[in-house]
A = this chain, B = another copy of it.
Amino acid sequence: MIELTDIAYVRSGVADLDKAVSFATEIVGLELVAPAAELLASGAPVARSAQLRADWRHHCLALLEGGSGVIASGFAVADEDALTAAETELELAGLTVSRGGAAEARERRVRSFIGFSDPFGNRIELVCQQEMITRPVAFSRPAGITEFGHLCLDAPDVHEAYRFWSSRFNARASDWIGDAACLIRIDPVHHKLAVFRGDGPGLCHMNFQVATIDDVFRSWHFLTERGVEIEMGPGRHPQSTAIFLYFLGPGGFTYEYSYGVRRIEDDAAWRPRTFDPDEPGSIDMWLGPTRKPTTQPQLGAA
């Protein structure tokens, strides 16, 4: 059993890096930590990239110029020993695991990491000792972001996906939306990982928590006035009780703001609940119109 201690980052490829960075800072509000030139000290030519920060993590979003599509989703384990044990356990389970090189680890601002693909083609990285930064985040606009909240992957069968995550990792289903979604926790937060039913592997959306309900609604008007496509919301998920707003960034990358996610303090007592996606209110308890957010496909997937 591999114990995931947290989510770490998303790495995404973008065709137009400048446009994607502008969106991530001026619209989403993230801090641009470092442009490409600072990342690698080696003489080798490197793809242009950018790292973006939302909370204590050095960065939680890395954008790399190239083909558009998600590259990898990162999760943390406790330390070097835990990482080595995970590597062994995954290999014993028949997965192909690659260990990251020193320069790659340095680029990710972690001590070490390994990479593998889940059975559906989603590329996952496990890391240890992701760097913490203590100076206040210099948000590009006052969106009220407090932290990288969760990430959502696609898989053709959410039950199979849950079987993979729950059998190999400390991942517990918090709630089910029929065959459409499984919401998964690895700590008291209702879900830090979600799996939505989709045709192929990809990143459905990346979530950022905001500090107040006002932040959700102020951003709603802010985004609307600037012509950003609102994909869903403002609405409220009955599972996590979070008030949400999904919107679409460059390269088909969906961002979500949400406020008020449920914490499951008594882990042992929680019983996962099941909602029928066809029943009104199962996605948005305010009964607004709903649709599945745009998924950014996995790069390199067949």
Q: Which residues of A contact B (CB under 8 A)?
A: 5-6, 56, 58, 78-80, 109, 111, 129-136, 138, 142, 159, 173, 176, 178, 213-214, 217-218, 220-222, 234-236, 238, 271-276, 279-282, 285-289
User: Given A80-B159, A159-B80, A236-B214: A132 and B220 within 8 A (CB)?
Assistant: no
Q: How far is the CA of A236 from the CA of B220 in the complex (A)?
A: 13
Q: What is the minimal beta-carbon distance from A102 to any residue of chain B, in angstroms?
A: 12
Which residue on B lies nearest to A33, using beta carbons?
B279
Q: What is the minimal beta-carbon distance from A289 to any residue of chain B, in angstroms?
A: 8
User: Given A159-B80, A236-B214: A132 and B287 within 8 A (CB)?
Assistant: no
The answer on a CB contact under 8 Å between A131 and B279 is: yes
The answer on a CB contact under 8 Å between B135 and A275 is: no
Q: List 19 A-B contacts (CB under 8 A).
A: A5-B271, A78-B271, A79-B272, A111-B274, A129-B272, A129-B274, A132-B275, A133-B276, A134-B275, A134-B282, A135-B280, A135-B281, A135-B285, A136-B142, A217-B235, A217-B286, A221-B288, A222-B287, A234-B234
Q: How far is the CA of A170 from the CA of B135 in the complex (A)?
A: 32
With most chain B CB atoms within 10 A of its CB, the pick from A80, A129, A214, A281 is A214
Copies in the complex: 6
Known: A78-B272, A135-B287, A220-B286; 19 extra A-B contacts, CB below 8 A, are A5-B271, A56-B273, A58-B276, A58-B279, A79-B173, A131-B178, A131-B274, A132-B238, A132-B273, A134-B279, A213-B213, A214-B286, A217-B235, A217-B236, A217-B286, A217-B288, A218-B285, A220-B288, A221-B287
